[in-house]
Structure formats: C-alpha cells, structure tokens
Structure 1
Amino acid sequence: MPCSTNMHKKITFFLLSLISMTAIAQQITVLDADSGSPISNVALFNKTKSKTVITNFDGKTSLLIFDDNERIYFRHINYGEYQTTKQNLLRKGNRLYLVQKAEQLDEVVLSVSKWQQQRKDIPQKIANIDAQSIAFTNPQTSADLLQNSGKVFVQKSQLGGGSPMIRGFATNRVLLSVDGVRMNNAIFRGGNIQNVISIDPFTVKSTEVIFGPGSVIYGSDAIGGVMNFYTKAPRFSYTDSLTFSGNVNYRFSSANTENTAHLDFNLGHQTWASHTSVSYNNFGDLTMGSNGRESYLRQNIVRRINGQDELVNNENPEKQLPSGYDQINLMQKFKYQPNKTYTYDLGLYYSETSDFSRYDRLIRPNSTGDGLRSAEWFYGPQKWFMGNLQITKEGRNKFYDGVRLTTAYQFFEESRNERAFQDPIRYRTKENVNALSVNLDFENKKIGNLRLYYGAEYIFNKVNSVGSQLNIETQSKQPQASRYPDGATWQTFAGYLNSEYKIKPNFTLLSGLRYSQVWVDAQFEDTFFQFPFEEADIITGALTGSIGFSWFPRKNLQVTLNGSTGFRAPNIDDVGKIFDSEPGSVVVPNADLEPEYAYNVDFGIQKNFGDKVVIKAATYYTYLVDALVRRDFLFNGQSEIQYNGELSNVQAIQNAARAYVYGLEFGMEAFLNENWSFSGNMTLTEGVEEDDNGTDSPARHVAPLFADAHIIWKNRKFKTDLFLNYNGQLAFEELALSERSKNFIYASDENGNPFSPSWYTLNFRSQYTISNTWTASLNLENFTDQRYRTYSSGIVAPGINLILGLGYKF
C-alpha cells in the first residue's frame, strides 16, 4: 500500500511538472518593436473571439487555449493589429514585436529639451517622420527622406547630394543632429552641403524637424531649424535566453539603375543588446524626363581621347553623364543596462562614398559659349565616422530626476578635384575635421507643475587642409594653396536652462536661455599668397532665448505662439577660406567677422473636426542682422586677381547684410473612413536681403512655393498613395543675385533672363505585406515623365522612375 501511494505521488508530480513545463513552453512575450520593452494589456483572440487572453505587466501570456494552426489576432490601442498562428510564434522563440501606430509615435518629442515631452505642450512647429513612413516612401538617401515629408525643400547640385532648406535658411544656418550629437562642423559652408547623405535611412527610427531657431538647446547654426535623426536602438530580450532578429532589404530604381542592399540584426539579452546595420548603394547615371525644356538636356560631354580632351555628342541627352556613385553605411550600437538606474549606450557609425561628380560644374559653358569650362569636377570620397557614448542615470536626486552624459568623436573627410577643359593640371584640395563634443544634460520634473531642463556643452573642431596639383600627362605632383588654413580650430562652451510650466491643464508655458562662448583661431601662411594678416583670432559670445505657449481654448483647438532668437558664429569656412572658385569669382579670407543674429516669432493654430479632419497652419517672421554673406572685396587693394589661370572678381564673407524672411505653412489631414484618407501640405516663403548700402535683393535660400497632396488607401495588408508634388515659379526678379549668374542651370524667359519655372509630378506608392516576414513595395514616381529642375539645383530631377523593394524580417 505505501508503495502504491508513493508511486501515485510520483506520477502526480510528473504530470504536474509536465503540465507546468508545457505551460511555460507555450508562454509568449509581446514587445515593442522599437524599444524592446514589454507591452501589457495586449488582447489575443481567435477569429470568433471565443478564446481570449491578455498580456500581463511583463508583456507575457499563455497560448495553451489556442490550437497549433489556429489564427491568433493581437490588438492594442497604441499598436497596429497583427495576426499569426501559435505554431509560428513558438517557432520564433515565443516572442512577438508589435509596431506602434504613427499617431502614437507622434505624441512624444525629444528635440526641444533632449528629454521626452508631450508634443501638445510644445509651442514650436515640429514635423515627425517615423520609421513606418520612411519604409513606405523608401528614400534613396536621408535628403530624400526629408523631401518626401512634403515639409522640407531640398536642393541638389549633383546626384550625390541634398541640401535642406527650412524657412528661407540652409547649409550652415540649419543644424543636423544624429542621436543627440551635433553634425555641423567648422567647415560647413554657406554654399550647398551634402553631409545629410551620410545618414543611412535604413537606420533611422524617427526624424524630428524643428522649424525656426533652436539655439537655446543647440547653439550656433540653429537659425532656420534643426533636423534630429534618431537611429534604431538595440533591443533587450526580457527572457532568460539570447534573442536574435533582423531585416534584409533590397531596392531597385530605374531612373538611375539603383541597386541597394541592406542587412541589420539584433542580439538581445536581459541586460545587454547589440544592433548591427550594413547598407550598400550603387547609383548609376541619372536619367531625366522626356517632357520638358530642351535647354536642360545634356547635349555634349567631355571625353579623353588619345591624351586630349574632346567635346563629343551625348548619345542619350536625357542621361546626365557622369552622375553615378557608390556608398556604404555601417552602424554598430551596444546597449547595457545593469539595473533600472543606469543605461550605457555606445554607437559607432561610418559612411563612405566613392568619387562623385559635381554635375552643375560640368555643364558650365566656357567664356566664349561654344564649349564647356571643366573637363573634370568631382568630390573625392565623402567620409564620416562617429563614436558616441551616452551614460544615462534615472532616479530622484536633489537636483535632477535624470542626467545624461554624451561624449562623441567625429571624423569628416572631403576633397575637391577640378581640371579645366584641355588643361593637363588637376587641382585638388583635401580637408578633414576632427570634432570632439561633450554634453551634460539634466531633467528635473519634481517641482510641482514646473519641469526644468538644463545642461552644458563643449565642442572642439580642428581642421586639416592641404592642396596639390597633378599633371595627368606626366603624373608630376606639386603642392598648392590649401582651401583652409591648416590646423585651424573652432571651439565653443555653453550653458543653457529650459523650463516647461503647466499653468493650467490646457495652458503650458515654455521658456529658455543659453549663453555660448566661441573661439576661432587660424594661422595663415604666405607660401603661396601674401595675406594682409597673419592670423584670425576671434573670441565672441551670444545670449539666446525663447518664450512661448501652447493653449487649448477647447479640446479640439490648439493655439501656439513662440518668440525666439538664434545665432551663428563665424566658422573656419567663413573666416579662413583660401580661394574657392565660383564662376568668374574667387573667395578670399576675412579675419574681421562677428556672429549673425536672428529674431523670430511664429504663430500656429490646429483644429480637429470630430477626428475626421485636422487642419494645421503656422505663420512666422524672422529678422537676421549682421548677416554673413559673400560680397565684393579687396585683396591687397585689388578687386580682381588671377586664380587657376583665370582673372577673377574678388569676394569674401562679410557682415554686410540684413535679411527678412516670412512665410505661411499649411497642412491638412482628412480621414474619410477606415480605408481612405487625404493629406496635404503647402509652404510659402518670402525673403529679402538688404545690403549695408541699402540695396535689396531676394534671399538666396528662399524656396518657391511648394506643395503636395496625397490620396491614401490602406487595409491591414495593403497601402497605396497616389500623390501630386508641385513647385511654383520664381521669375528672374525673384532670383537672388548669386543665382542670376548661373543661367546654365535655369530656363530662359522671353527676355532671355534666367528663371525657375513651375513644375508638377504625379506619383504612386504601394506596399504589400505578403506575410509576417515578407513585405514588397512598388512605386512609380513622375509617371508623366516630366523634365524639370528644382530651384537652385544643378542636376535635373529623375524622369519616370520605377522603384521595387523587397523586405524580409527574421
């Protein structure tokens, strides 16, 4: 009898253990696809809803009640619906990642204070571009990512480029930031810049664009706006085992025979995680549209034949030769969280292009108008590396609730290579910048309804620059003047305080102050030129501030008003540029510069009509004083000098102007039913520069009116977007003086003067979710094959463009 009892206990224990193990084996964890954190209150149910379970606080629940091949639906108010079978879930390691709905991602912003804030409390206009939108638009570069938003205008001098314009400002008057680290460096110039293409769109989790000055948080350069790119973070496991997941993507574009491949994968443990990303792009020569102005055609090209430059006919004038290039982007991120107090983030980023031609310089006619000026004009490889270490501490302290230390090192390399037609000498300048930055940011949210954000920043840039000339026939190489004074340094130290005070539940006041001190040091050598000075030693400072409110007089109506100031301190490009050729002109150094300062006010209103229609409008006015502009200058008493064999007009960067920029921005969303929706944006900007002599002229970076309109249809698996892009005309009188001299990139009006014509394109995008692992996309851009040039761009835009994409998630 005792033996029988013991045997019964053993069998019972075995059965209970088996049931327990089976239950554990069929337990799954539902996680956020972005952060990897568990999601509670996710409902799991079958088709008839006869079986239902809910995830707990740790995102866990059991699948025991479901059959192996039974379809299970996952639903949460903040996430997109998902469906799969229990068999598939168990095969994938009992984990499921859900993607947040775009409207939920849009509720929180990071850019204004560097800490999470509710979007509804922010008085500045902010555009958020989330990972889902990026995947749907499938941009080739991050410049295209911004342009696809419909809220940022992008200029392109060549295929390998993209210079964003925000509210009439561009280049070194707008600021780029990657994962909280400033990308602008000491040689960001007033001319168009291409650094944004170093950011891989496949790695971007979200992009937040601040419209208007952001100098309180970001310091110098943040006059027109700030573009913050936040890359994807490593995800923890939240289980005892190591998890592995990732994505593979391929894309083809017909207009430039693009072939792009991407791979990323995530390794996750309970306390550490790793995210690895690799992308490779091969872009061929870009083909323009068939319907448009003949003056845009590439009729002639330069070929080197039997040791001589010859001008030959382009067999296909719609193909823009040469414009193609290659690019590789790498990213490696690690996250370590030993406890709930400390988090350590390490990010390593690398981007490198091949040589790529500056197309607008290759189509410049010579002085007689019967040929081309340049046989070669190309940028050398554009390289960017960043190492970024962030240490975040959460928890109550006497002075803060959160503190973050961000240290970063960046390396930039670029070069310019040019050779005149039938000239054997190729001139080359090569620059690299070593940039160090340290940011210490605090968040204090325990003073009643008042939140404080404060911190300090130090940045150091060192510029190395060399010049050379190569005889391509004899291969003999000689030194020549560098573009910048070699060894020049630019550094800044700043402190800031930002506050958010919720006066009432429907009224929030934000204000902030920042003081920045800037040091510029450049030594000029007289090896090649006799300069009227030996060094530029500038020490200057700037106090900036902002104050604004967000008010909801009614639940469905928001009113915002914001006043702010911004500044840009002279950098090495402004102070020390040693002879940079422009058509018929040459730019020389100027050691006597001061910061430019901007005063801005903007007003916004947003109205929600029964969650069916949302209308947003904003208007602004910016006044820029002591503007740093390129104007005629005397070098050693001369207004013209010989440079690279050509008599050129002398110019320099000077505090010689004021600027007035104002505009209107309008957006609308309409949700017709659960499948159909409409969205549209329109931006109108006007701007005038006034010289010290009282002469007015249109501002250079004021874009023409641009707008888009989208008709969207989607269900759970399929999404389509039929849309129109439109740009207005800029007449000759509306072109900046510097643009009027570039008649080779513009159309001619009835008087023979250059102008920028209006244009439109019709486009179609679609994305189909084949399964939980496979996604396919098909886009047809500019399907009426228009031939057009966006304002100030050297290269003609793509003609009809078929884009095919395929993605696999594992």
Structure 2
Amino acid sequence: MQKIIFFIAFLFVQIVFAQQITVLDTDTNTPIINVAVFNSDKSKATITDINGTCILDGFRLKEKIIFKHVSYELLKKTKKQLIKQDYKVFMEMKPNELDEVVMSISKWEQQKKDIPNKITSIDAKSISFTAPQTAADVLQKSGKVFVQKSQLGGGSPMIRGFATNRLLLSVDGVRMNNAIFRGGNVQNVISIDPYTIKNTEIIFGPGSVIYGSDAIGGVMNFYTKKATFSTIDSLAVMGNANYRFSSANMENTIHADVNFGKKKWALLTSVTHNRFDDLKMGASGPDSYLRNYYVERVNNEDKLVNNTNPKKQVASGYNQINVMQKLAFKPNNNLKLFLGTYYSETSDYSRYDRLIRPNSNGDGLRYGDWYYGPQKWFMANFQLQKKGNGKFYDGLKITTAYQHFEESRNSRNFNALDLVSTKEKVDALSANIDFENKKIGDLRLYYGGEFIFNKVYSNGLETNIETKETNVAASRYPHGASWKTVAAYVNGEYKAKPNFTVLSGLRYSHVWIDADFDTSFYPFPFDNERLSTGALTGSLGLSWFPKKNLQVTFNGSTGFRSPNIDDVGKVFDSEPGSVVVPNPDLEPEYAYNVELGIHKNIKDIVVLKGATFYTYLVDALVRRDFNFNGASEINYNGELSNVQAVQNAAKAYVYGFEFGLDAYISENFSITSNITFAEGIEEEEDGTDTPARHVSPTFGDFHVIWKNQKIKTDIYLNYNGEIAYNDLASSEKNKEYIYALDANGNPYSPSWHTLNFRSQYAISSALKTSLGIENITNQRYRTYSSGIVAPGINFILGIGYKF
C-alpha cells in the first residue's frame, strides 16, 4: 500500500512540477515575464508569471512549443527538448529592439529613443560572439571606435578626433581616469576583463555635464556583471567556464565565474588568466614593418640578433590576471546594497614601438631595454540603491570607491649600463550621490554631486645592470602631489509631446592641484603649483519623431578638461632629442560641440543611422617648444634635448560623420555595416594649421550574418583608409620607423582591409563552441599611429560552458 501511495505521489509531482518551465534571459539568467507560450495553431496557450515560469499542461512530447516576447527573438522547442534542458528556456534579446534602455546619459535608466546623443551599446552576447582578447578589442570590434596600440599589451581608443585624457573611462559608475592620465596613448582600458562585462555604453561627444573633466570626445561606460539573486526560496548556483585560443600570439585564456544566490543576498566570483606570446604579423605588406633584428644581451654586451622569423614581433608577449568579487544584499524591494572588488595585474611588457626605434645613425636600435612594469589596478566599490517616495526623489544612488593604480617605466639605451626606472602609484577616492525625480508631470529630473581626490606617488631610480648598484633618480611627477574636484549637476528630460523630448543639463566643477617640485635634479624656476580653477558646462538636446519610423536628434553641448598632474608636473622624453618639463601656468581647455542625427526604420527590415558632428576646442592643452630657465635645450639622461611643455597654445576643430546600416532580411539572415569619417585641424597661435594627432583614418566594417537556434556565422570585412604624409600630425611625421614610406620616401599610413569569419555553435543550451578566422588573406598592416603590427591570419577557438 505504501508503494502505491508513493507511486501516486511521484506521478503527481511529475505532472505538476516536472512540467513547470522557467524562461530566462540568455545573458543575465534573469526571469522573463509575460512570455507567450503556445502551439502552432494556438489551441494551447499560457504565459510566464513574475518568476518567468509557466506550466506546460496539455502539450504533447514532440509538439512544437512557441515562445514569444516583444523584446526577444522568437523561439521554438519541443517538450522533449525542454526535458533535456532541465525545463529551462533561454531567450535572446532582439538586436533591433527600439525600446532599448540606456544608463549612461543620466546614470538612471532612460529609453534610448528619448536620448539626443549618439550612444552605442555592446552587450555580453555580442562580446561572447566577437571573442575579444582585451576590453580594448571590445571597443574596436564594435566597428564604431578606433583603437591604437603601441604594444600588444595596449589599446588606446580614439573617438571623434579625441583620445587618451580627453576621453573618460567609467567602470560600474566609477571614474577610472586619474591624475596622471596622459596626452600620450593610455592603455588602462585593458585592465577591464571582457568576460565580466555585462554591457558597454559609449557616448559619442562631450559628456561633461554628468561626468566632469576629461569627457570631451566621449565616455566609455563598462557595466560589469552583478551578483544575481535567486528567484526561488532555495540557494541558486550558476556559473560559466570558458577557454579561448588564438594562433597569432598563441593566446591561452581561461575564465571561470560562479554565482551563489538567495532571495536576499548573492555572491559572484570571477577569475580570468591570459597568456599571450609574441605576436606574428601577416605575410603581404610593407617590408618596413618586419622585425628583422632585435637586441639580446650576450656576455655583458648588447648585440643585434637577426630574427629567424621577421614576422614574429619578438618581446611583445605578456600575461595578465583579472579577479572580481561581487556581493549584493536586498533587505527589501526598495533597497539594494552592492559591494564590488576588482583586481587586475599584468606581467612586465615591452613598449614595442620603443624597441624598434632606430638609433641616430640609423644602423642599429636606440634602446637595449624599454618595458613597462606590471600595470596594476584595484578598486573597491560600494553602492546603495534606493527607490520609493522620498520627498525630493524617486530614486537614490550613493556610490563610493577606492582605487589604487600602479605602473612603471624602465628604459636603457643600447649598450648602456644604467637602467632608468620611474614608478608611479595613485590612490583615488571618490563619492557620488545621484537622484532621480519623476514627480513633476512630464519632466524627469536627475541631479547630484561628486567628490574625487587623487594622491600621486612618484619615484625615480637608476640601476647598474651589472653591479646592481642603485641611485635615486629624477621622478616623473612631483612626489606627493594631489588633484581633487568637487562638482554638482542637474539634468532634465522633458517630454513636451509623445514624439518630442528635450534633454538639458548644467554642471559646475571646481578643481584643485597641490604639487611641490623637487629641485635637486632640475633647477625648476618654481617650487610648487597651487592651481584652483572652475568650469561650467551645459547641454541641450532634442529627440523628435516626425513619423513613427523616423527619429531626428540634435544636441549641443560643452565639455572641458582641467589640467591634471601629468599636465603641470611631468618630466619625460617625448621623442628622441626632446624632453617635456613642468608648466604650472595652465588653464582648462573647453570644447563646444553640435551634432545632428537621423534614425530611419524601414518596415522593421532596414534600419539606417547617421550622425554628423562638429567640435571646436579652445585653449587646447598641447605639447609645444618651451624655455626652461631661459634655455631652449637641457641635458636629459645624458643627451642634449629640446625643451617642450604642455601649454594652452592652440585651438582645434574636428568634424565628420558616422553612418550605420542594419538589414534584417529574414529571420535567419542579416547585414550590418558602419563607417566613420573625421577630419581635424589644430590652429597654432601663429596662425598656422596642422593636422590633429588623434583623428583616425576613415574606418568601417561590413558584416553578413546568418543564424538559427543552434549556430551563428558572420563573414565580415574591416577596412581603414589612408593617411597621406601631408595629413599626418607633426609628431607622427617624426616616427618613420612605425610607418610605411611613400614614393617620395615620406612616412604615411597606408589603407588596408581584412576578410574575416567567425561562428558560434550551441551544442546544447549549456555548451557553446566558437571558431574564428581573422585576416584570412594574411595581410601585413599596422593601424594608424600604432607601434605593434596587427595579427596575420589568426585562428581563434573557444568553448564555453554555462551551468
């Protein structure tokens, strides 16, 4: 009798519970509400509840079950397939979803269609498919951001003619730019682990109203994965394991993350390790790019060694580890607390463009060693999110963070014994408070304040590589210098009509610099720098839908960049025979920007997107010739060098257009394409014009994509235009060794294109494999202003398991 009762109970459980399925977002593992579930003739139908679940009573084992949601791709499964998938269904967001939500403009969720700025979003699904090696590659593979690389361990984005410290990086709402972000190429973006990115939002054009100093050319916001709460009463465990291999640099990457979630708390741990060997370039291209010889230390003497494989870029490899730990607590539905810690560290890695720099005679190499010490980044970030009916707000965010940055530079001239090293550390504290107010009719207000404090520690050292004796040397920056800012902002979104939205904002920022200079190595004509300066910035934008399928946007905005410690206090060799010295007499630079955008949807089949922009920069902080104690030349590291300094010595303007096309030809077949064109000029004080340094060549891509529920393939073309000798910036003309030579023997950046293929195959809902072939025709090319030559033909293999 007991056996019969047990059997009946077992059948009951199977009928009631085994047929309960859960529908989840494939990227976030969060439940999807209001998914329609029905058969082909709609005689059987149900809908998912708040937990993303529904019962499949009445559906036959082999009957096609259709899952439909307005924001997700249509999905078809049989009950038999669902049993194999443990009654879990994963749905993918539509790529052309018109009601996409963005966070970057106000730090709160807003409908993208109401935003006048151009914003590009790159989600975790896209990142997984493109299989980037670093976060810099995440940006580059979008087809909308140009990335420069001085070495393999690098990636300096360029947006609308601006780069480095005129672009702002943000991770989970925390500013990553620090007081020593330089005007030269900045590689800090590689500290962000692509495997942890949930979404990246790129603002094109000034973003200073919300983000303050440095946000002149654009803002890159990286939102990492959050610890996920459980939707059931018991502990939910989920995670990912990934492996990737690339043949061009024999990359081996291993990643794992695991999430433990209850209804009120959750814990996420992520670890990634990368190993990159020396990068191999392509077979067809300029011979001047080849690595014909390199330096090797033999019997206490530097020797030029012939490279047996000139396509191998010797000394370009490096390793990296990234660790992230997230903790989330939800005491009730209106309050959430988040704690995140992040750590990234590279091995030593060579600055490749310096290693290939010829000596003054042209018969050898200038350096025996030139490498960066480990690039380290640590961040601890605490955030409180509260929603409800506060007197002055409907939403409140308080974000506090501590960051520690560490980097060093180590160089030694060919056959010299002294290795000159400078080591920098920055401690950065920040606090932000942001409010959202939706109480005033059709007006939504966002306002808040910010405080940032940076402390810079800098030391110099000379080491005899034979005797190991050390001596104190000049530091790169004034040791103990500080940079701080206090700011307040207000941003408003007003829906004047259902088809017309106005977005406007103001921000005031005040910046202080406090630096004391060490005159024991250089007789500076000043002892300290006490800078105090303010900046007011604003924006006004319009989003208008004259027709349901046509959007017109206009945006006018200002941006600024206040001088930092790198501008006012740096001593370094910018190029052979030149040295940059401190200049305490600096003011902020300002940008004035206008842009017009059009977004046309043709029958939900073709989407055309275009934008044109013009940005004018005044009081530009640029490096120019300078007098130091009345002298135009000083001795630096044993060499008589021309003196330069950062000065408010120029104006500049950049203009261009960006165009994108998405064509959804069928359920399985689509085409996408992007192209970006920009021109930029710097106007000198004497009235002469020169090409701007960080204006990229014309670049774009073209993709032909086919997919079904199991496989996705992409055949695509990447291309870059030429930059002729006369269009190179003056600083680039002095770098013949990284450029090809034209018919007149002058350096120039040739045009190039590559044919590529990538695919992803879902063996099951849990197991995916990927295969990519980049640069199929094995072209030898170097992207504009880069030191490292791009990979030749490159086979990329990957496997990922989700549990």
Q: TM-score, normalised by structure 1?
A: 0.96
Matched, 1:524 2:517: yes
1:663 equivalenced with 2:651 (yes/no): no
Separation in structure 2 between the aligned mates of residue 264 and residue 701 of structure 1, nearest angstrom: 37
Q: Which residue of 1 aligns with 2:768?
A: 775
Deviation at 1:39, TM superposition (A): 2.2
Q: 1:478 Cα deviation (Å)?
A: 1.0
Tell me the equivalent position of 1:108.
101
**One-letter identity of the residue aligned with 2:48:** T
Contact 1:283–1:325, Cα closer than 8 Å, also in 2? yes
- Rounded Cα–Cα distance in structure 2 between residues aligned with 1:70 and 1:237: 31
Check the 8 A contact 1:565/1:600 in 2, yes or no.
yes
Distance 1:12 1:780 in 2: 60
Q: In structure 2, do the counterparts of structure 1 residues 201 and 108 end up closer, same or farther at CA, with 3 Å as the change threshold?
A: same
CA change 1:49–1:263 in 2 (3 A) is: farther
* Deviation for aligned residue 1:213: 0.2
Q: Distance in 1 between matches of 2:698 and 2:590?
A: 26
Please state if 1:603 is matched with 2:593.
no
What residue is the counterpart of 1:330 in the other structure?
323
**By how many angstroms is 1:37 displaced?**
4.3
Q: What whole-Å deviation, never above 9, does each CA across 1:744-802 have from its counterpart, x for those lacking one?
A: 11111122111111111111111111111111111111110111111000111111111
Look up the match of 1:4.
none
Give distance in 2, aligned partners of 1:709 and 1:47: 36
Match of 1:638 among 631, 639, 657: 631
Of 422, 426, 430, 1:433 maps to 426
Amino acid at match of 2:330: Q
- Residue in 2 aligned with 1:3? none
- In structure 1, the residue matched to 2:562 is 569
Q: 1:205 aligns with which of 198, 201, 219?
A: 198
Q: Structure 1: which 5+ runs fail to align?
A: 1-6
| 1:793 matches 2:773 | no
Change (3 A) 1:774 1:92: closer
Q: 1:480 aligns with which of 473, 482, 506?
A: 473
1:131 aligned residue (109, 124, 127): 124
Structure 2 matches for 1:710-725, cutoff 5 A?
710-725=703-718
Structure 2 counterparts to residues 60-459 of structure 1, below 5 A:
60-63=53-56, 65=58, 74-81=67-74, 96-104=89-97, 107-459=100-452
Task: Out of 280-289 and 576-585, give the one that drifted further.
Answer: 576-585
Rounded to whole Å, the distance in 2 between the matches of 1:190 and 1:388 is: 27
Are the equivalent residues in 1 in contact too, given 2:384–2:399 (CA < 8 A)? yes
For residue 543 of structure 1, what is the aligned residue in structure 2?
536
* 2:502 pairs with 1:509: yes
- TM-score computed with the length of structure 2 as normaliser: 0.96
One-letter identity of the residue aligned with 1:664: F
Q: Is the 8 A contact 2:27 2:125 kept in 1?
A: no
Greater Cα shift, 789-798 or 59-68: 59-68
Deviates more, 1:172-181 or 1:665-674: 665-674
Distance 2:587 2:548 in 1: 46
Q: Does 1:727 align with 2:746?
A: no
Give how far 1:72 is off.
5.6
- Corresponding residue of 1:804: 797
Partner Cα distance (1:18, 1:768) in 2: 36
Letter in 1 for 2:250: T
Aligned-residue offset at 1:28? 3.8
For 1:786, what is the secondary structure of its paired residue? Answer: coil
Deviations, residues 219-245 of structure 1 (Å, cap 9, x unaligned): 000000000011111211111110111
The one-letter code sitting in structure 2 at the alignment partner of 1:267 is F
Q: Tell me, in whole angstroms, the C-alpha distance in 2 between the residues paired with 1:343 and 1:104.
A: 28
Task: Name the stretch that deviates more: 87-96 or 217-226.
Answer: 87-96
Any gaps of 5 or more consecutive residues in structure 2?
none
CA distance in 1, matches of 2:645, 2:235: 59
Q: Partner residue of 2:670?
A: 677
Distance 2:601 2:192 in 1: 35
**Residue type of the alignment partner of 1:721:** D
Counterparts in 2 of 1:188 and 1:310: CA distance versus 1, 3 Å: same
Aligned partners of 1:414 and 1:431 also within 8 Å: yes
RMSD across aligned positions (CA):
2.2
Residue 616 (structure 1) shift? 1.1
- Cα deviation for residue 48 of structure 1 reads 8.3
Matched to 1:701, the amino acid is H
The alpha-carbon deviation at position 100 of structure 1 amounts to: 2.6
Paired letter, 2:196:
T
Q: Answer yes or no: is the 8 Å Cα contact 1:580–1:588 preserved in 2.
A: no
Amino acid of the structure 2 residue aligned with 1:706: F
Aligned length: 802
Q: What is the deviation of 1:580?
A: 3.7
The AA in structure 2 aligned to 1:172 is N
Cα distance between partner residues in 2 of 1:319 and 1:12: 73
Moved more, 272-281 or 513-522: 272-281
2:616 corresponds to 1:615 = no
How far the C-alpha of 1:85 sits from its partner, in A, is 6.9
AA at the equivalent of 1:419: R
Change (3 A) 1:371 1:21: closer
Q: Does 1:745 align with 2:753?
A: no
C-alpha distance after superposition, 1:135-189 (max 9, x if no partner): 1100000111100011000000000000000000000000000111100000000
Cα gap change, 1:780 to 1:683, in 2 (>3 Å): same
Give, in whole Å, the separation in 2 of the partners of 1:274 and 1:342: 17
Q: Tell me if the contact between 2:121 and 2:199 (Cα under 8 Å) persists in the aligned partners.
A: yes
CA contact (8 A) 1:35 1:234 kept: no
Q: What's the offset of the Cα at 1:672?
A: 1.7
Counting aligned pairs with the same residue, the percent is: 66
SS of match in other structure, 2:732: helix
Tell me the distance in 2 between the aligned counterparts of 1:84 and 1:140: 34
Distance 2:227 2:517 in 1: 46
2:571 touches 2:579 (CA, 8 Å); kept in 1? no
Q: Is 1:760 matched with 2:753?
A: yes
Distance verdict in 2 for CA 1:713–1:302, change over 3 Å: same
User: In structure 2, what is the Cα distance between the partners aligned to 1:109 and 1:634?
Assistant: 48
Which amino acid letter does the alignment assign opposite residue 256 of structure 1?
N
Q: After superposition, what is the alpha-carbon deviation per residue over 1:571-606, rounded to whole angstroms, capped at 9, x for unaligned?
A: 000000023442221111111100000000001111
Question: Are the aligned partners of 1:710 and 1:723 in contact in 2 as well (CA < 8 Å)?
Answer: yes
Supply the distance in 2 between the matched residues of 1:34 and 1:796 (Cα, whole angstroms).
34
- Structure 2 CA distance, aligned partners of 1:354 and 1:80? 42
Further displaced range: 718-727 or 51-60: 51-60
What one-letter code is carried by the residue in structure 1 that aligns with 2:658? E
Mapped contact 2:483–2:513 kept (Cα < 8 A): yes
Structure 2 counterpart of 1:584: 577
Alignment CA distance shift 1:34-1:442 (3 Å): farther
Work out whether residues 90 and 765 of structure 2, in 8 Å CA contact, stay in contact via their aligned partners in 1: no
Residue in structure 2 matched with residue 697 of structure 1 by the alignment: 690
CA drift of 1:19 comes to: 3.4
Greater shift in the superposed pair: 159-168 or 630-639: 630-639
Confirm or deny: 8 A CA contact 2:408 2:424 kept in the other structure: yes
Shift of residue 96, structure 1, vs aligned partner:
4.8
Q: CA deviation at 1:467?
A: 0.6
Q: Give the whole-Å Cα distance in 2 for the aligned partners of 1:680 and 1:714.
A: 17
Structure 2: which amino acid aligns with 1:657? Answer: A
The amino acid across from 2:518 in the alignment is E
Native 8 Å contact 2:242 2:798 kept in 1: yes
Letter in 2 for 1:163: S
Aligned equivalents of 1:14 and 1:132: distance in 2?
Answer: 44
Instruction: Provide the secondary structure at the position in 1 that maps to 2:796.
Output: strand
